[in-house]
Amino acid sequence: NLEMEKFHRNTPGLGGGSRYGRFLGRGAGAVLPPPLTACVPQAWLNEKFAPELLESKAEIVECVVEQLDHMESNLKRAKAGDLKVSVHRMEIERIRYVLSSYLRCRLVKIEKFFPHVLEKEKSRAEGEPSILSPEEFAFAKEYMANTETYLKNVALKHMPPNLQKVSLLKSVPKPNLDSFVFLRVLERQENILVEPETDEQREYTIDLEEGSQHLIRYKTIAPLVASGAVQLI
């Protein structure tokens, strides 16, 4: 999508000879390139505050993990007592915390909405970005299979035959896309259609100015979150 295109465009070396370009092999003074530094917290906050599971950022996560491992390897060879080494170690720990929190948040949503997540993945059009990484997809399928087995062994097999079939899609609540979220506008947007909140109101359009902050219904701006035009806060 647009966010990934900007990520590749602004990150020198992605798609070059070395997988992650000149940022690999820089030595102990290396820090994460600015596009990565921005993408990781942005993906984390969006995932944390969005009511639904967002598109997987597996490629960014893989890139960051590889870069962090490389930085740690370089730091082991650096001069002991160097202030830069301590600063970069703190930066590594900060980014690892954000990554761990991001992945935990996604797992919580997968467990909470697993039938709907799998159904959305199943109905995904060809070429449409996946909301699950391969590992998350395997986890979601296993979680659903284990849930079905547990329900069958604990409850369903003891019930009359006509009550032994349960639709998890109907039983498990869907993400509440009507919930309200705070956001910061990263790119100016015009003519955003806002649905009425009461029967007396009519739908209307608003312009979102760059740098402005808003409280708005999530489903109204969900496409803007996906494109990277707004940041949930």
Predicted pLDDT at 215: 96
Give residue 167's Cα distance to chain centre: 27
Rounded to whole angstroms, how far apart are CA atoms 149 and 169? 16
Q: Which two tokens stand for residue 98?
A: 């954000």
Apex 6 CA angle, 10 and 222, nearest 5 = 150
> Tell me, what's the pLDDT at 10?
45
Place of tokens 């290396």: 30
Q: What is the distance between the alpha carbons of residues 3 and 191, in angstroms, rounded to a whole number?
A: 21
* Cβ-proximal residues to 129 (8 Å cutoff; 6+ apart), any chain: 1, 4, 55, 56
Query: pTM for the full model?
Result: 0.81
- Which residues have CB under 8 Å from 101's CB, separation 6+? 44, 48
Domains of the chain, start order: 2-111 (1.20.58.1030), 180-232 (3.40.5.60)
Closest CA to 136 of 78, 56, 68: 56
Q: Give pLDDT, residue 179.
A: 96
| Placement of tokens 């806060």 in the chain | 233
Distance CA 150, CA 147 (A): 5
Confidence at residue 29, expressed as pLDDT on a 0 to 100 scale = 45
Question: What is the per-residue pLDDT for 201?
Answer: 82
Instruction: Output b/e per residue, 131-146; b: 16+ Cβ within 10 A.
Output: bbbeebbebbeebbee
Mapped onto helix, strand or coil, the DSSP state of residue 97 is helix
Residue-wise pLDDT tens for the chain (233 aa)?
444 454 444 443 333 333 333 333 344 445 566 667 678 899 999 999 999 999 999 999 998 999 899 888 888 887 777 788 888 889 899 999 999 999 999 999 999 999 999 999 999 988 888 999 999 999 999 999 999 999 999 988 888 888 888 889 999 999 999 999 999 999 999 999 998 877 788 899 999 999 999 999 999 999 999 999 999 99
Alpha-carbon distances, residue 232 vs 43, 165, 226 (angstroms)? 9, 39, 11
